[in-house]
Structure 1
Amino acid sequence: MSEWITVIPPLLAVAIVLWKREVILALLTAIFSSELLILVTNSDSSNSLAGFAIAGIERIVNVFADGGNTRILIFSLMVGALLAFMRYSGGVIATVNFLVEKGLSGNARRARFLAFFTGVFIFIESNLSVLMAGILSRGLFDKFNMSRARLAYIIDSTSAPICILLLLNGWGAYVLALIGGYELNDSTVYTLIQTIPLNFYALITLSIVLYTIIADKTHGPLKEAEKRQSKSTQSIELDIEPSKPRFMLVPLFVMSLSMVGFMFLTGNGNFIEGSGSKSVLYATALACIVAYAMMISTKKFSHKKMTEIGFSGMSELLPLVMIVLFSLALGASLKQLGTGIFISGLVAESLPYFLIPAVLFIAGGLISFSTGTSWGTFAILIPIGMPLVVNLGLPAPLILAAILGGGVFGDHCSPISDTTAVSSVASGCDLLEHVKTQLPYALVGGGLTVIAYLIAGLVMI
């Protein structure tokens, strides 16, 4: 059977999202269609075709077999509890008032800059970057009547590009492990450093974000979202009586500081080798405990009331947690089906050398978009790109940068990416609205990046 059928499940997911505007239905359809194709292509299978339904269910169940996946899901739920604690404590509105009074976010532009620079400074882990920037800025965006879609765009388009540029984090450790087995002209660390000025997508994306912040310009669906917000009086985070800023800032400080500590702890003293998924979960759990203790100490909240608040916050995020669950299951199913391998195999066909960086970037975008994972894309394409470097004498930093940028590009465009879902969680924005409003900016950045890699290929190869 033709390998082209391996792209059917992700295409079905995208088609259903565009048609029905229903992500969960799209993901479930893609999962079960992928399992059906796996069953059909397995000539040794003695199972009936009806077995694909059971296989789909088991695929979802097996997501929890991976500790990292389970931690992501638990972390996503705990974020809901933490957000609820900070909101009901009155800390959010108190922090907003404090920042405005001190002039740190006295106007809409400063509020946008706060979201951007929070994401820049917290480059340890992309989910933590998104989470911190989103939580800190939600109330300010309400205060200045800016849409949550705009906040989601800023934090999502800041976190991953920063993480892939400032590689003193889990991203850098992961990429170093992937390229460590190849005999390159320079050391793996120096090669990785040289990718920074060549990672055109990350640099262009950050430039576009700064343009929207400084010029206060929005375009396409995001502009429409801003217009709808300007006509709305909704103020989700500001409907609670203010208390003290510490009820928000202390848990956030504990979460950010403990995240660093847990990275050292999980890496046995080596920060770079620390586990991002473990650290962000432990840090979020600790922040929840601190927020709980602070609210209980005021004697305005009982344990029963705190439990109700925590579970109500979790319930608000349950639909997004289910999306993350199904996205992880779909990624595993597509990996077995061979979708990523097929797309990347197209790159291995005969090409003029100068086209290779641009084609690898496009392939990375397609794989990341269809599977919802940038790290999985790196794992597929680096074993293709690095042998090209070794055998054809191509510049390793350019090839590696194209692969890394392609993975982030597809991740930004994909409605089934866990990073996209976490950005929606952190900003309080509907997932489909976030995807729709961010897509034009990502496509413009991707188009400019293709041109940049074509020029770089002509100059450097």
Structure 2
Amino acid sequence: MDWVTVLPPVVAIIIVFWKKEVILALLLSLFTSEIITIYLVEEAHTFFLFDGVIATIDQVVEVFSSPGNVRLLMFSTIVGALMALMRYSGGVTATVKLFISKGLVTNQQRAGLVTFFTGAVIFIESNLSVLTAGIISRGFFDKFKMSRARLAYIIDSTSAPICILILLNGWGAYILGLLGNYQLPESSISILISTIPLNFYAILTLIVVLYTIITGKVYGPLKQSEETLTIKDTELSNEVADTKARFMIIPLITLVFGMLAFMFWTGNGNIVNGSGSLSVLYASLLACLVGYFLMISSGDFTHQQVMDIGFKGMSELLPLVTIVLLSLALGSSLQALGTGEFISGIVADNLPLYLIPTMLFLAGALISFTTGTSWGTFAILIPIGMPIVINLGLDPALVLAAIMGGGVFGDHCSPISDTTAVSAVASGCDLLEHVKTQLPYALFCGVITIGLYILVGYFFI
């Protein structure tokens, strides 16, 4: 297989920016990937178009064979119910007014800082970080006339960089597992710790996010979103009357501490080894159950009213859940097609030593962008980067940091990433608007990161 392996993600990206239809783009990209597999790999030429349709359906169905995928889809749906219970109970409005009356959140800057530090503190799992920060902050952003696109940018650009820098989580455990197959000059843990100051993209992204929050300055499409919101101001007109802050605060506390408890439980006493997808699913279900009983016990809501609110919230997220489903199917299809291996193979051939970290960063970004998965990128590039470290005597922390940063960079830019979709879900932002408004900031940090890796490689390799 050769360059045709990159055709499916190219199709998706073209359609996304041309037709502004993400679901159509993902479907056609998946169909293209299956057609290429059937025609070139299996060499079945007679009914390959019909076979491509069948294979596309089968690939979507195959997503449900993975428990982790099913948990992610269930979580993405249940989140809709949880957010609806908090909102339509009046809990969100009451919490916003409580924070404002206590002087905790009094302006746009403080609203942004609450969002940032909420996401930063919950570094144990990226989806939980995004979800919690999004739920807490939606009311503040509406109150102070800040766009949902800005909220999506802050939570998305905080969660993964924090998780990849503070590695006491599933990210760290996963990467340690990948490193365990190689005889490296240092222990895997010491190498992982040494990547922290060398992960330039993650550090720069957090700095830029804080800059936009503290100064209040935003640029490009994000600035346009802010100006459009100021003119229309549609969210506040639909504000639900406040009732009790506990309708939001107690389920939210249940979600966070339930996640930590389930991580501890699924990890058999070791929170780092816990299952993130299982824990966040259990915690969100528990939070919904707590929200249900709070509303029923108040006497203001009947069982049927609460159920209707929950299903209404789920239905509002069905388009984004569909995007997550198709993203997972496309990722599996591209993995079978060999898209990531083809891209990494090009990068690994005939490179000057000092450019290897830079090119691995770019390869990580390209693979993550085209496949929509940073973890899949790590699985492809670490087996390429670590043998280079062993054979050429390069700094393993520098090479690993470049791979990790590249994976997160590509994920931030990709319209087909499931984490991008989850960020849009948590913030209540349109997916394409989130991609469009976040892209300039990610590219800015990515370009500076490339320059830094070139300098470090030139002077220290």
Output the TM-score relative to the length of structure 2: 0.99
Aligned equivalents of 1:77 and 1:10: distance in 2? 26
Query: 1:232 maps to what in 2?
Result: 232
**Counterpart mapping for 1:9-20 below 5 A:** 9-20=8-19
- Kindly state the Cα deviation for residue 16 of structure 1 after the two structures are TM-superposed: 0.3
Q: Matched residue of 1:300: which SS?
A: coil
Aligned equivalents of 1:237 and 1:272: distance in 2? 44
Aligned equivalents of 1:34 and 1:233: distance in 2? 42
Query: 1:103 maps to what in 2?
Result: 103
- Kindly state the Cα deviation for residue 186 of structure 1 after the two structures are TM-superposed: 1.1
Query: 2:3 maps to what in 1?
Result: 4
**Counterpart mapping for 1:53-452 below 5 A:** 53-235=53-235, 239-452=239-452
Alpha-carbon distance change, 140 to 388 in structure 1, aligned in 2, over 3 angstroms = same
Query: 1:31 maps to what in 2?
Result: 30
Aligned equivalents of 1:137 and 1:418: distance in 2? 21
Aligned equivalents of 2:185 and 2:423: distance in 1? 38
Unaligned runs of 5+ in 2: none
Give the letter for the 2:425 counterpart: V
Whether the 8 Å CA contact 1:266–1:275 is kept in 2: the answer is yes
Whether the 8 Å CA contact 1:354–1:458 is kept in 2: the answer is yes
Aligned equivalents of 1:237 and 1:101: distance in 2? 21
Q: Matched residue of 1:105: which SS?
A: coil
Aligned equivalents of 2:236 and 2:37: distance in 1? 45
- Kindly state the Cα deviation for residue 48 of structure 1 after the two structures are TM-superposed: 2.4
Whether the 8 Å CA contact 2:199–2:401 is kept in 1: the answer is yes
Whether the 8 Å CA contact 2:161–2:408 is kept in 1: the answer is yes
Whether the 8 Å CA contact 2:143–2:236 is kept in 1: the answer is no
Aligned equivalents of 1:140 and 1:92: distance in 2? 9
Unaligned runs of 5+ in 1: none
- Kindly state the Cα deviation for residue 459 of structure 1 after the two structures are TM-superposed: 2.2
Q: Matched residue of 1:289: which SS?
A: helix
Aligned equivalents of 1:307 and 1:247: distance in 2? 15
- Kindly state the Cα deviation for residue 296 of structure 1 after the two structures are TM-superposed: 0.4
Alpha-carbon distance change, 34 to 405 in structure 1, aligned in 2, over 3 angstroms = same
Give the letter for the 1:399 counterpart: V
Aligned equivalents of 2:255 and 2:262: distance in 1? 10
The one-character-per-residue Cα deviations of 1:266-317 (angstroms, maximum 9, x if unpaired) are: 1111111100000000000000000000000011111111111000000000
Aligned equivalents of 1:345 and 1:330: distance in 2? 21
The one-character-per-residue Cα deviations of 1:67-107 (angstroms, maximum 9, x if unpaired) are: 00000000000000000000111110010001111111111
Aligned equivalents of 2:411 and 2:460: distance in 1? 27
- Kindly state the Cα deviation for residue 233 of structure 1 after the two structures are TM-superposed: 2.3
Alpha-carbon distance change, 243 to 61 in structure 1, aligned in 2, over 3 angstroms = same
Alpha-carbon distance change, 93 to 188 in structure 1, aligned in 2, over 3 angstroms = same
Q: Matched residue of 1:52: which SS?
A: helix
Q: How many residues align?
A: 460
Q: Matched residue of 1:128: which SS?
A: helix
- Kindly state the Cα deviation for residue 193 of structure 1 after the two structures are TM-superposed: 0.1
Query: 1:40 maps to what in 2?
Result: 39
Aligned equivalents of 1:271 and 1:367: distance in 2? 30
Alpha-carbon distance change, 63 to 47 in structure 1, aligned in 2, over 3 angstroms = farther
Query: 1:460 maps to what in 2?
Result: 460
Aligned equivalents of 1:334 and 1:44: distance in 2? 18
Give the letter for the 1:427 counterpart: S
Aligned equivalents of 2:278 and 2:30: distance in 1? 27
Aligned equivalents of 1:429 and 1:14: distance in 2? 19
Aligned equivalents of 1:214 and 1:59: distance in 2? 45
- Kindly state the Cα deviation for residue 238 of structure 1 after the two structures are TM-superposed: 6.0
After alignment, is 300-309 or 22-31 more displaced? 300-309
Give the letter for the 1:40 counterpart: Y
Whether the 8 Å CA contact 1:120–1:162 is kept in 2: the answer is yes
Q: Matched residue of 2:416: which SS?
A: coil
Aligned equivalents of 2:392 and 2:151: distance in 1? 44
Whether the 8 Å CA contact 1:122–1:128 is kept in 2: the answer is yes
Aligned equivalents of 2:204 and 2:261: distance in 1? 32
Whether the 8 Å CA contact 2:89–2:295 is kept in 1: the answer is yes
- Kindly state the Cα deviation for residue 46 of structure 1 after the two structures are TM-superposed: 7.8
- Kindly state the Cα deviation for residue 235 of structure 1 after the two structures are TM-superposed: 1.9
Q: Percent identity?
A: 62
Whether the 8 Å CA contact 2:5–2:339 is kept in 1: the answer is yes
Output the TM-score relative to the length of structure 1: 0.99
Q: Matched residue of 1:458: which SS?
A: helix
- Kindly state the Cα deviation for residue 460 of structure 1 after the two structures are TM-superposed: 2.0
Alpha-carbon distance change, 345 to 355 in structure 1, aligned in 2, over 3 angstroms = same
Whether the 8 Å CA contact 1:87–1:237 is kept in 2: the answer is no
Superposed CA RMSD: 1.0
Aligned equivalents of 1:297 and 1:62: distance in 2? 42
Whether the 8 Å CA contact 1:201–1:409 is kept in 2: the answer is yes
Aligned equivalents of 1:246 and 1:147: distance in 2? 26
The one-character-per-residue Cα deviations of 1:338-377 (angstroms, maximum 9, x if unpaired) are: 1000001012201110000000000000000000000000
Aligned equivalents of 2:402 and 2:236: distance in 1? 40
